[in-house]
Structure 1
């Protein structure tokens, strides 16, 4: 597979986008905008991009912390260092960054511009569905994205369930049953609001899984549930996400 970096313009400066391309590009491919956790476009996120490319998808990972500098990565054991970075991100800034990445994807000669979706984790899970409210996506995948139902102290993100009615693409959401930061009541509220907004959505709750269970670099990694989660993701993309290869 191939890897490259591109810069896109935002109102507050250039943003780096990491692009991973499948090994065989004999036809235009679907693309997924990979939205980072609270720790930057790190080794794990780049591995996610590789996994997607191995399955035939072009992966684009924008550096959402670009306003604080280029290439910012925070250790998983140092969440306090991530707090000020999160505090500087607003819904509007995320929307701008994702829109610019979407526009970049549409210009790439190896991307099928009719098949562009989002996939995000943690903070990126929040962003993945937010993008679907504002961008004409083909699919949106959100894993353990918090902050959708209520504000969180110290974060500039705002809940946006009232915008679910603007979502036009199918949605897949995954949560850990043991995720203390996103209790069952919040998941139920998200499910209810998506239903009221007539969004075609599938929500999967993974038994014995904690926040971040898909990431093999976090202490909360759950190999069994991570394996199921990735199988669910790729099956859903093909069957329901309109992202056929």
Structure 2
């Protein structure tokens, strides 16, 4: 897939609807959260070189809402990620999921995971962190968000970025990382990983991982725990022994209802504990 040029990015960026082609067929267990009482839909986040499309959900009434950044899997900001935003909005948050791969390509229209990985591999961490900074600014200025009550959560690829953004932005009160990769090869695009920032991390992050995750070994989870002990962030990692990767993804066969519900309860308690 060709990389989108800067001009195309500025003029054509838009948020898709439905699920990514690569995740078909969709499980019958998919959760669909009611949008009643909410303002929910596509928005555009102004960034340095144009606009990033995003999905925003918030209560229809009120103001000064705590802000949650919702960070996508490699499949983009499809219906599941949008539904997670609505779940947060029903709890009283303004939740925003920016489409963080848009400059490199539209992963929602790709049917092959291998093709998607090629697009995602081109995404620089610095670009993502900058776009998330812009998203926070937009939430405060344009979505009645309270920048002093800022949280972040992400899944898989987004779980890794949750760790990194919590270290990047001191405004973040708390984070919840769902099965985000903890180690990896270092490169100009990905210079640091979660284990690298763990000792300096000040923001409390709750990591939720699966004991049967074939892509994230328990050895790396233990390494992360040891590295976190060197710091003062009060971060914790919970491992669900029988859960695979993506156990929260209710639209996929990997979904584990009991563990997903427990993780969601822990997430809410974690954010409440740290003032988000």
Give the distance between the partners of 1:92 and 1:79, measured in 2 at CA.
Answer: 24
Give the distance between the partners of 2:260 and 2:198, measured in 1 at CA.
Answer: 27
**Tell me, what secondary structure is at the counterpart of 1:231?**
helix
Give the distance between the partners of 1:4 and 1:216, measured in 2 at CA.
Answer: 21
Q: CA deviation at 1:63?
A: 0.3
The answer as to 2:219 corresponding to 1:182 is: no
2:91 pairs with one of 55, 64, 71: 55
Give the distance between the partners of 2:186 and 2:148, measured in 1 at CA.
Answer: 35
Q: CA deviation at 1:150?
A: 2.2
The answer as to 2:176 corresponding to 1:141 is: yes
Consecutive unaligned residues of structure 2, counting only runs of 5 or more, are 1-37
Q: How many residues align?
A: 237
Q: Is the 8 A contact 1:13 1:67 kept in 2?
A: no
**Tell me, what secondary structure is at the counterpart of 2:198?**
helix
Shifted more, 105-114 versus 201-210: the winner is 105-114
List aligned pairs for 1:1-245, cutoff 5 A. 1-25=38-62, 27-69=63-105, 72-73=107-108, 78-108=112-142, 110-136=144-170, 137-146=172-181, 148-151=182-185, 156-160=189-193, 161-239=195-273, 241-243=274-276
After superposition, the Cα gap between the structure-2 partners of 1:28 and 1:149, relative to the gap in structure 1 and judged at 3 Å, is same
Per-residue CA distance 1:7-51 (angstroms, 9 max, x = gap)? 2333443211221002442x4211100000000000110011011
Compute the RMSD of aligned alpha carbons: 2.2
Q: Is the 8 A contact 1:86 1:156 kept in 2?
A: no
Q: Is the 8 A contact 1:35 1:121 kept in 2?
A: yes
Q: CA deviation at 1:101?
A: 1.0
Q: Is the 8 A contact 1:90 1:158 kept in 2?
A: no
Instruction: Point out 4+ residue stretches in structure 1 off by more than 4 angstroms.
Output: none
